[in-house]
Structure 1
């Protein structure tokens, strides 16, 4: 197995907190949790939960692509964190539109609060073999 390699890209939000945007270990990529933050502005996107979900997935796709993968097509597992499960169906619609007929394995949990008081955050695992 190869040594873990941190992945960094301008295509996803970054900050000065002590974590990598992603870490590749062999053919597996672990993508850190992302909220709906626009990497160009560093600010959470305005709009409904669907727009926020799309931004989160764009951030994850950027990290996967930087690691040599094919964006969301290589994602095999996602954890979704919602501050309100009332948004569950709307997030499912936006999420499903991005992943299509063969979505990855997934967990969805309600949490009391997320950084920057956003409504949704996701982390992911991708297989780059």
Structure 2
């Protein structure tokens, strides 16, 4: 069995159940799904505003990755869920260039019932300095 490390930071929302904010396994970091919650207050950020909720969600991912020694530049795959993809896709997608530069990570975005939030995102990142990834297009 492969050993792994838990990632835990107060700079991202605390788990609401029996799961880790992230796990490191070998050269990879797997995050939990995060939503638009302010980790300091526990309050929902940007009610009704998918762009602001996406920004907060990505800030939460940044905090967990930082605790694991990585950045959003190390992300290779994102999985995202939108409460209403037809309504919110454009505003959600427009936020990504604020946080990512080409080559962008691979990404899946799907619709899901999320209750009071509009977006949830999880990530897989490669630990800096690993040889897991080949260079991108030249």
TM-score (norm 1): 0.91
Aligned to 1:94: 95
Cα RMSD after superposing both structures: 1.5
Note the 1:33-48 alignment, pairs <5 A.
33-47=33-47, 48=49
* TM-superposition CA deviations, 1:82-128 (whole Å, max 9, x none): 010110011000123211222100000011x215x100000000000
Runs of at least 4 residues off by over 3 Å = none
- Give the structure with the higher percent helix: 1
Deviation at 1:64, TM superposition (A): 0.8
Residue 25, structure 1, aligned to residue 28, structure 2? no
Question: 1:15 matched to which residue of 2?
Answer: 15
Instruction: Name the TM-score, length of structure 2 as normaliser.
Output: 0.86
Aligned to 1:114: 114
Stretch of structure 1 that moved more, 76-85 or 46-55: 46-55
**Gapped regions of structure 1 (runs ≥ 5):** none
Aligned mates of 1:22, 1:76 — CA distance in 2: 15
Aligned length: 126
SS at match of 1:100: coil
Whole-angstrom CA distance in 2 between matches of 1:15 and 1:53 = 18
Deviation at 1:4, TM superposition (A): 0.9
Kindly state the Cα deviation for residue 15 of structure 1 after the two structures are TM-superposed.
3.4
Query: Counterparts in 2 of 1:44-123, with a 5 A limit?
Result: 44-47=44-47, 48-69=49-70, 71-85=71-85, 86-111=87-112, 113-114=113-114, 117-123=116-122
SS at match of 2:9: coil
Q: How many Å apart are 1:49 and its aligned residue?
A: 1.2
Stretches of structure 2 that go unaligned for 5 or more consecutive residues are 131-138
Q: Hey, what's the Cα distance between the residues in 2 that align with 1:104 and 1:31?
A: 14
Which secondary structure state, in structure 2, belongs to the residue aligned with residue 107 of structure 1? strand
- Does structure 1 retain, via aligned residues, the 8 Å contact 2:15–2:21? no
